[in-house]
Amino acid sequence: MVILTLNCGSSSAKYQVYDWDAKDVLAVGVVERIGLEYSTIEHQALGKDEYKTQFSSPTHKEAIELIISILQDKQYGVIDDISKIGAVGHRVLHGGEKFKKSTLVTDEILKSLKELVTLGPLHMPANIMGIEAARKVMPNVPHAIVMDTAWHQTMPPASYMYAVPYEWYEKYNVRRYGFHGTSFLYTAKRASVLLGKAPRDTNVIICHIGNGASICAVKNGICVDTSMGLTPLEGLVMGSRSGDLDPAILPYIMNLTGVTSQEIDTLLNKKSGLIGLCGRSDRRDVQAAAQAGDAKAQLGVDLECHRLKKYIGAYMAEIGKVDAIVFTAGVGEMGGHIRWCSCSGLENLGVKLDKKKNEIAHCRNAEFEISTDDSPVKVFVIPTDEELVMTEDAYALMAGTYDVHTNFHYSFEDKTYVNKARARGFAKNLETRPELKDILASPR
């Protein structure tokens, strides 16, 4: 049996096919430009040639129909019949306070999701369209939703409430929700394994740094605070999002320039962050420009790391004794300069980064320990695997064995767990970079 996971954006649909019995990834791919004049698909199946083409996809329904078709294709596919798909897991941005854990999709559940669209107007419509389209194409298969916000439902009120009129919370659901939950769940559990502790005995700070970025304080294995808020705009400096700012800036700029609230929303989400500071969002481009003497690019690097360091320090104060700091997601896994800059100066708090290990650790196929041997606080680079969380949740919901993560055991919590797809990739990396083996983070 295989599990299909779908992550539908406004104009895209990412997917993965996982062989539950073999515990291996069979195929991954993405459909882009949905709803435009033409769409594209990039598909890669285990042991087969990559497939790319253009096609017409006015809606997510056509995109998902093509995904199912290519999965059954004799040359590029991985299954011979759609009945081999035992369950489908869908990533959903926002569960509000209604969804504290993953759940199977019903008409009533879809109705509840639609009531939450105002909390995530940029992402939720696409998430829902993807679920509806997949249910039409695969009506007899169990569909599960996995919310980005569910992991953060353990936060205490002092962490999730804002100091605004209380009726805003009562009437309009204004509170901190947090995002990147599946990533934090996976990396928190993996950090416990690497530390040789049970999750309930583990305190870690996790930095999920991609184009979007957030940080999470994990105490005794559960989330107690996070940087993103009602929406994914708050917190760290991101590729195109501002992160934290003085709220008074908004009416100030609106009064001076005449921009509307919708225009301000676009400016803060799509034209701020690193793009706003230096015109670039890809950290590789920002770093290259900074090294070439671009003062604005250097400001972007400095500001991003300064904000990260502030949050790390604040969360260390909040959770007490910290076992480890974890870096994950694209930049967290590959951006050594961001890791180094954000941890430098934290030595008095027990964080000692090994410069050589940090420089070597840019490979997305393995877990690394980049702190010095005598560092009281360990520093790990752990590649995230949100798709695996979605896969295991979907299977368990289908099988009737699922429960909230504090009562549920994931396969990747075991010391013997091996990600076969990454193991293959790491073996290839070792052929040209044997030094990677020396910084592997092995379970204690």
* Structural domain spans, the chain: 2-147, 195-382
CATH of domain 2-147: 3.30.420.40
Q: What is the pTM of this model?
A: 0.95
CB of 365 closer than 8 Å to CB of 429 = yes
212 assigned binding-site residue: yes
Residue 100 three-state SS: coil
Q: Write the single-letter amino acid at 332.
A: G
Q: Write the single-letter amino acid at 263.
A: E
14 assigned binding-site residue: yes
pLDDT at 218: 98
CA distance 408 to 401: 9
386 assigned binding-site residue: yes
On the question of a common fold for 2-147 and 195-382, the answer reads yes
239 assigned binding-site residue: no
282 assigned binding-site residue: yes
CA distance 103 to 124: 16
195-382 carries CATH number 3.30.420.40: yes
283 assigned binding-site residue: yes
Start-end of H helices in 12-143: 60-71, 107-114, 124-137
Positive or negative CA dihedral for 134, 135, 140, 143? positive
210 assigned binding-site residue: yes
91 assigned binding-site residue: yes
Q: Integer distance in angstroms from the first to the last C-alpha of the chain? A: 33
CB of 240 closer than 8 Å to CB of 281 = yes
C-alpha neighbours within 13 Å on the C-beta side of residue 233: 19
CA distance 439 to 336: 14
CB of 19 closer than 8 Å to CB of 30 = no
CA distance 366 to 426: 7
Active-site residues, by number, are: 148
7 assigned binding-site residue: yes
What are the pLDDT tens digits along the chain (444 aa)? Answer: 899 999 988 788 999 999 999 999 999 999 999 888 899 999 999 999 999 999 999 988 899 999 999 999 999 999 988 889 999 999 999 999 999 999 999 999 999 999 999 888 878 988 999 999 999 989 999 999 999 999 999 999 999 999 999 999 999 999 999 999 999 999 999 999 999 999 999 999 999 999 899 999 999 999 999 999 999 999 999 999 999 999 999 999 999 999 999 999 999 999 999 999 999 989 999 999 999 999 999 999 999 999 999 999 999 999 999 999 999 999 999 999 999 999 999 999 999 999 999 999 998 899 999 999 999 999 999 999 999 999 999 999 999 999 999 899 999 999 999 999 999 999 999 999 999 999 999 887
CA distance 388 to 183: 10
